[in-house]
Structure 1
Amino acid sequence: MERRIRVFVVEDQPAVLAAQVRLLETSPAVELVGTACSGEEALRLAPPALPQVVLCDLGLPGIDGIETTRRLRRLAPPPEVLILTVFEEEERVLAAIRAGAAGYLLKGAALPRVVEGIQDVCAGGTVIQPSLARVLLRHFGSPNVVQQPGSSLTPRETEILQIIGKGLTNREAAEVLGLSRATVRTHLEHIYGKLEVTNRVEAVAEGIRQGLIDA
C-alpha cells in the first residue's frame, strides 16, 4: 500500500472546515495531520505537523491565503500548497501561484478530484482549471505568437497539452486517452522540457501563446 499523504487544512469557516475534514477522513490516500482557522494559526501549527500538502483558503482573516502560502513555502521542508477557492477569485489565485502555490481546487469539489489534486502536487505537478486560462494570458504575455510549422511537440504531446488545458487531472487524461497515469506523467515531463517550462500553469500559458491551445 502506498504511504498516505500528510495533509493540513486551513479554512476560517467552521462549517466548511468540518465538511472538508469529513471528506478527507474518508480517503485511504490521505492522512489529515492538522487544521487551522487563520493564517497565523496555520503558521504556528503546520510546521510541527510536517504536512506534505496544505489546502489553504484565500479569504483568511489577518494574514491572508496569499501571504500564508508565501510563508509556508519558506518552511524546511516546504509543503506544497493547494488554494481552496471559488471562480470569482482568479486574480487572487494567480497571486497565490506567484507566491508559490502549486495550483487550486474549487470549494465543493468531489473527493476523487481533491485527492487527485493532492496526489498530483505531491508528485511535483500543478493543478489548474480552464477558467484560469485568460488570466494566465495576461500574466505570462501576449497570445499573438503563433505556432511554428515545425512544433517540437508530437501529436500525442499536443493532445495531452490540450487536455490539461481543459483542467483534466492526470487520471482523467489517462482515462480519456486510454493510457496509464505513468505514461501521461512521462509525456508531461517531455512537454515541460520542450516548452522550457516547469509546471502545468506555465505549460498551458505557453501552449496558448503558440496556438496549441484555444484561449
Structure 2
Amino acid sequence: MDDDRTIRVLLADDHPVVRAGLCAMLESAEYISVVGQAGSGEEAVVQAASLAPDIVLLDLRMGGMDGVAATGHILRRSPGSKVVIVTTYEDDSDILRAVEAGAAGYLLKGSSRAELIDAVHAAARGETVLTPSLAGKLFRARTPEPVPLSGREREVLRLVSRGHTNAEIGRELFISEATVKTHLLRTFKKLGVSDRTSAVMTALERGLLS
C-alpha cells in the first residue's frame, strides 16, 4: 500500500467507550480513516464484508463470536482485509490462536497512540504487528516442549553415537534387534529426525548424551 493512501479501518469492540477512544486516536492521524464500528464479532464480520476495510482492529473477547472466530470469517469474506487483535489479554494460548487464525498482529489496549498508529500502517504494508512485550510469549507458545528420551532410548542412542550396529546394541543391552529398532524409531519421532546420524547430532546439541 502507498504511504500516502488513506488506510480504511473498521473498529470492533463490545465497549462503546473503548471504540470511541480508539476512533479518536486513529482519526487524529494522517492517512487513516475509521469507516465503521462494530459492537460484536458477528457485526464485525458483516461490516467487513460490506465495507472491505484495509484493517480491522478487533477485540479478542466479546459476547457471542469471539475475536479468533471472527478473524477467520472476516478473512474469508473480505480477503483483502488485515485483522489486528487489540485486547487486554496476554495469555500465550490467546496470542497463538489469533495468529493461527490469520491475524496480522496482536496489540494490547494499553499501547500508546503512536504504537497503535504505527501498527495500523505496518499491517497495511503487510507486516506482522506484535506488541514487543508479547514477542517472547508468542515464541514460547509456538515452540513445543521437547519430549524427553527414556533411559533406555538414551542408552541405545549413546551406543549408536559410538558406531555400534543394531545387532551389537542388542547384544550389549540384552535386548532383541527388533527392540533396538523400536527404541530408535521412538527416538527419531521425539527428536523430529529421520535417521541415526541426525538423531545423534540433535541429541548432542540438546545435551541428551552427556
In structure 1, list runs of 5 or more residues that go unmatched.
144-215
Over 3 Å counting, the alpha-carbon distance change for 1:135 and 1:48 in structure 2 is: closer
1:137 match? 140
In structure 2, list runs of 5 or more residues that go unmatched.
147-210
Over 3 Å counting, the alpha-carbon distance change for 1:29 and 1:40 in structure 2 is: same
Is 2:41 aligned against 1:39?
yes
2:50 match? 48
Asked if the contact 2:52–2:78 (Cα under 8 Å) also holds between the matched residues in 1, the reply is: no
SS at match of 1:24: helix
**Equivalent in 125, 128, 140 of residue 126 of structure 1:** 128
Over 3 Å counting, the alpha-carbon distance change for 1:45 and 1:131 in structure 2 is: closer
1:25 match? 27
Letter of the aligned partner of 2:142 in structure 1?
H
1:28 Cα deviation from its structure 2 partner? 1.3
1:48 Cα deviation from its structure 2 partner? 1.5
Between the aligned partners of 1:73 and 1:99, the Cα distance in structure 2 is 9
SS at match of 1:78: coil
Please report the TM-score for the alignment, with normalisation by the length of structure 1: 0.62
Pairs aligned (count) = 145
1:202 match? none
2:79 match? 77
1:187 match? none
Asked if the contact 2:10–2:37 (Cα under 8 Å) also holds between the matched residues in 1, the reply is: yes
Letter of the aligned partner of 1:78 in structure 2?
G
1:75 Cα deviation from its structure 2 partner? 2.2
Letter of the aligned partner of 1:3 in structure 2?
R
Asked if the contact 1:83–1:101 (Cα under 8 Å) also holds between the matched residues in 2, the reply is: yes
Please report the TM-score for the alignment, with normalisation by the length of structure 2: 0.63
1:31 Cα deviation from its structure 2 partner? 1.0
1:27 Cα deviation from its structure 2 partner? 0.9
Letter of the aligned partner of 1:40 in structure 2?
E
